[in-house]
């Protein structure tokens, strides 16, 4: 065997040895994998139940959309529900079997909140003393997760209601404003009674704004709302959706008496939603 072959053979043995070392990694414990607190796939969650001091909150997913069912039936806020279901797949920051642990130490003897995702229950206990973490119990394991998750569960129920006045897919047929009615005439919106000057674009834009309008905030509204009304007639529904204009300043407040909810919008939206804008000079009716 010549020198070159010998050198290559030695090198081959070295590479084989190093390869074995890299493959088998003797003396090293396996790298711990991040542990999820549940085995649930957030996309497969159909039912949320939250028991907390502010009262029971329940949501179900119907046809891909979340609906608040308790304490009040209403479309649910997608951002909030996504945050809640994502708890199922959150990485555990630290974990320990609860065997032998005093649950009272971690505030889990009487949980501060209980989240149920499908049939998995997550108990929320006390805040950990370091680094804004919170103790949660899932089955027989104690986990630590970011404290923010707890605060996403304990807000007022109205905060879980969708900010949209009309959900995607609903179709408006008739809009009754305090001073005007807009009718969907085979896709074209026509004001009734017709003003002397009006623009089809402005009517369509007004209807479009109602279709997509979103509140800054939704609050519970107790008592009887009084004031002018907006009635939104939706395709496939006998009764119109009633909105009472409870205030225009400093915010536009539209109250849904059937849900007991007040939608707070920017004051400037009052004109955009309640008035049909005058046509531009170069536009013809």
Partner 1 sequence: MEANKKNRRLLRLQGASFAVLFLAAVGLVAWLSTRYHFQADWTAAGRHTLAPASVALLAELQDPIRITAFARQSELVATRRQISDLVGRYQRHKPDLTLNFVDPDMAPDRVRDEGISMDGEMVVEYQGRKLHVQQLTEQALTNTLHKLARSAERKVLFLEGHGERNPEGGANHDYGAFGEQLRNKGFHLARLNLTATPEIPADASLLVIASPQVDLFPGEVRLIQDYVERGGNLLWLAEPEGRHQLDPLAAQLGLAFHPGTVVDPTTQLLGIDNAAFSVVVEYPQHAIVRDLASVTLFPFAAAIDAGKAGETWQATPFLRTVPRAWAETGVMQGAISYDAGSDVAGPLTLAVALERTRPAAEMDTQDNKEPAADDHDAAGPQQRVVVIGDGDFLANAYLGNGANLELGERLINWLSHDDALMHIPPKAAVDTRLELSPLLSGIIGVSFLFLIPGGLVIAGVVIWLKRRKR
Question: CA-to-CA distance for 254 and 135, rounded, in angstroms?
Answer: 40
Stretch that binds partner 1, among 3-11, 54-62, 177-185, 210-218 (CB under 8 A): 3-11
**Nearest approach, Cβ of residue 123 and partner 1 (Å):** 16
Tell me whether residue 4 or residue 239 sits nearer to partner 1 (CB atom): 4
Question: CA-to-CA distance for 80 and 159, rounded, in angstroms?
Answer: 8
**Nearest approach, Cβ of residue 111 and partner 1 (Å):** 16
Region 118-137 residues binding partner 1, contact defined as CB under 8 A: 126, 128-131, 133
Q: What's the Cα-to-Cα distance from 123 to each of 58, 104, 130, 161, 185, rounded to whole Å?
A: 16, 13, 20, 23, 54
Question: CA-to-CA distance for 189 and 207, rounded, in angstroms?
Answer: 7
Region 7-66 residues binding partner 1, contact defined as CB under 8 A: 7-8, 11-12, 14-15, 18-19, 21-22, 25, 27-29, 31-32
By CB under 8 A, is residue 69 in contact with partner 1?
Answer: no
Q: Who's near 35: CB < 8 A, 6+ residues apart?
A: 91, 92, 95, 143
Question: CA-to-CA distance for 106 and 145, rounded, in angstroms?
Answer: 13
Q: For residues 124 and 114, is the Cβ–Cβ distance under 8 A? A: yes
Tell me whether residue 135 or residue 198 sits nearer to partner 1 (CB atom): 135
- β-partners of residue 253 are 247, 264
Binding mask 75-114 for partner 1 (x = CB under 8 A): ------------------xx-x----x---xx--------
Question: CA-to-CA distance for 227 and 217, rounded, in angstroms?
Answer: 20
Residues that bind partner 1 (CB under 8 A): 4-5, 7-8, 11-12, 14-15, 18-19, 21-22, 25, 27-29, 31-32, 93-94, 96, 101, 105-106, 126, 128-131, 133, 144
């Amino acid at each position: 065997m010549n020198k070159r072959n010998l050198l290559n053979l030695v090198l081959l043995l070295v590479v084989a040895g190093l390869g074995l070392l890299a493959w088998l990694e003797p003396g090293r414990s396996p790298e711990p994998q991040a542990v999820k607190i549940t085995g649930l796939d957030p996309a497969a969650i159909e039912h949320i139940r939250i028991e907390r001091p502010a009262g029971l909150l329940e949501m179900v997913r119907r046809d891909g959309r979340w609906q608040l069912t308790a304490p009040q039936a209403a479309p649910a806020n997608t951002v909030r529900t996504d945050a809640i279901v994502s708890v199922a797949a959150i990485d555990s920051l630290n974990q320990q079997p609860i065997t032998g642990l005093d649950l009272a130490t971690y505030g889990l003897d009487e949980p501060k909140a209980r989240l149920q995702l499908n049939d998995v229950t997550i108990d929320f206990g006390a805040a950990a003393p370091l680094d804004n973490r919170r103790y949660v119990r899932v089955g027989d394991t104690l986990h630590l997760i970011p404290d923010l998750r707890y605060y996403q569960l304990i807000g007022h129920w109205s905060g879980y209601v969708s900010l949209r006045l009309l959900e995607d897919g609903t179709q408006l047929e008739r809009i009754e404003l305090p001073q005007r009615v807009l009718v969907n005439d085979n896709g074209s919106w026509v004001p009734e009674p017709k003003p002397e000057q009006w623009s089809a674009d402005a009517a369509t834009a007004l209807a479009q704004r109602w279709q997509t309008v979103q509140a800054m905030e939704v609050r519970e509204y107790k008592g009887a709302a009084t004031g002018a009304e907006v009635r939104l007639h939706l395709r496939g529904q006998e009764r119109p959706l009633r909105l009472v204009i409870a205030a225009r300043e400093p915010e536009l407040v539209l109250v849904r008496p059937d849900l007991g909810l007040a939608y707070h919008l920017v004051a400037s939206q009052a004109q955009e939603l309640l008035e049909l804008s005058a046509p531009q000079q170069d536009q013809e009716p």
